[in-house]
Every structure is written in structure tokens, then in C-alpha cells.
Chains A and B, each alone.
Chain A
Amino acid sequence: MLNPDSVGRTFPGAKSFPVTASEIAAFATVIGEEDLTVAPPTFSIRISLEQSQELLSDPSVGLDWSRVVHGDQKFEVFRPIIAGDVLTCSSTIENYKAVAGNEIVTVRSDLHSAGELVVSTWSTLVVRA
């Protein structure tokens, strides 16, 4: 079970993620995107989901990541991510509920580059009973 005290907590990401042209190209190529000047709208999942896994698996939060399935995903793109951005990702556990033994957690991640908010993204994760 998730520690209820962790709801509302914000975890400032310690790491920074320099975005390279080749990372954008690799992601774009998989979906057949030929415009490589900006990252595809879902590119930031590459950063936010890994960080969500790290924070939710922390012993102080206590979620069992091995039973997590992805329920919902939302992106707000204030401007597209481009090569040369150095992103930081801060994540907040926005919502938590237990329904019929399943736990449902929504994590919001804000990705900044040089202080500018570039993308906000919400992942709703379901921990199966």
C-alpha cells in the first residue's frame, strides 16, 4: 500500500536530462515521423515515467511497481521539446485512491528547461490487487 502521507508531496528531480537530436530521431522514427526539428508530443514520457517509478518505489512511498499498469496519460505541451533542452522533472503525487483492492495513483510531472515550463504530464497508474 502507498503511504497516504506521500500524497501531495513533490519530489524535485535531482537529475537533469540533456535532450539530443539522436534521441528525438530515434523516438520519431519508431512512429514514422519525418519532422525531426521538434520532439513528438509524447516524447517526455521517456523522462517522466522513469522518475515516477523511482519516486513511487521509494521505501517512504511504498508502492509495488512490479504490479503497476498504466491507466491514463495526459500531456500539456507549452512548447515542443527540442534538441539542446536540458530538462529537469519534478513530480507530485496528486491523487491516490484504493478501489476494490486496486490502488490508483496519479503523478503529475513538470518538465522545465532553463527555468521554463515546457511540458506538464499526468500519469495515472493502477496497482493491481
Chain B
Amino acid sequence: MVHIGGARMIKVGDVIAERIFWIDRELLKKYADASGDQNPIHQDEAFAKSVGLPNVIAHGMLTMALAGKFISDWAGGPAAVKEFSARFTKPVIVPAGKEVDLTVSATVAEVDGAYIRLTISATSDGVKVLGMTKALVEKS
């Protein structure tokens, strides 16, 4: 495969087109098992409501992991992500029997050779769920 220009073609302000990840209760169960985070607010609706939440919510770290997948796909794979940070501003609410969106996009904030800083946006049902989301990637 021939790369023409590669990372040198990327400039500050470039937008990485948005992508939608779908989240349902089944995915929350799978993430709980894979991550070891079995907090019932991510699986048990009655429990979630008993602690004042509107419904079951996704693990913030699942949301962040999916945003990480978005940037690693763009950068050339999971090994390309060198730094990654996020603030959990609002929960992703996951009602039973529904798939809710996690809509992710990113903007190039800085280019230093192959090292690129991205600012990432993530919303669910139109609400910003991650804030201050940034990554440093080494793009291949």
C-alpha cells in the first residue's frame, strides 16, 4: 500500500468525520465483564433509580473506550494512541430495549510531524457526554 503524503497532509483545523456507536444494555453487560466494573448502576434499573439516576447509565469508561476506538481507527490502530484524556460531563442514559447513540467526531488541534493532537467531541441524544477530550496520536 502506498501512502501519498501521509501525516504531512494533515493540518490544524481538519475535521475527522463523525461516527455513531450504538450502546445498549447488552453492551454494558459485556463491558462490565471485560473491565471488571460490575457497579449495578450500569446494569440494574431499579438500583440506578434508587440512587437518583434517571435510568441505567453507561460506564464513563465505556464511552471513553469507544471514543478511543474512533481516534485509534483514524490514527492507524490502538498502538498509535499515546495520550488520551476526558471529563465525564453527563451520563449516557441507556433505557431497556433501546439502542442509544454515542456520536463522536474530532478536530486536529496541533501537528508536529507524525504526532497529532486531537480535540474530540462526544454526544448522546444531543447532549455532550465527554468534555475536555483530547488525544495525542502518532499517525501511521
- Where the two chains meet, the residues of A that have a C-beta atom closer than 8 Å to any C-beta of B are 23, 26-33, 35, 37-42, 45-46, 49-50, 69-77, 80, 122
Which residues B125-139 have CB closer than 8 A to chain A?
Answer: 132
Tell me if B79 and A38 are in contact (CB < 8 A). yes
Q: A31-B68, A33-B78 are in contact. Are A26 and B88 (CB under 8 A)?
A: no
Majority-rule SS of B interface residues: helix
Most chain A CB atoms below 10 A, which of B35, B82, B87: B35
Interface size on B, residues (CB 8 A): 30
Establish whether residues B85 and A74, one from each chain, have CB atoms under 8 Å apart when the complex forms. Answer: yes
Q: Across chains A and B, which 8 residue pairs bring their CB atoms closest together, nearest first?
A: A74-B85, A41-B81, A26-B34, A31-B69, A27-B34, A80-B79, A42-B65, A70-B60
Q: Cα distance A70–B33 when bound, in Å?
A: 19
Which residue of B is nearest A39, CB measured?
B78
A40 touches B78 (CB 8 A): yes
Contact in complex: A72, B83 (CB < 8 Å): no
CB of B28, distance to nearest CB on chain A (Å): 9
Flag whether B99 is at the interface (Cβ < 8 A): no
Query: Using a CB-CB cutoff of 8 Å, which residues 26-41 of chain B contact chain A?
Result: 27, 30-31, 33-37
Q: Which of B36, B77, B88 contacts A71 (CB 8 A)?
A: B88
Least CB distance from A44 to B in Å reads 11
B51-91: contact bitstring with A at CB < 8 Å (1 yes, 0 no)?
00000000011101110110010000111011111111000
Task: Among B65, B81, B82, point to the contact of A31 (Cβ < 8 A).
Answer: B65
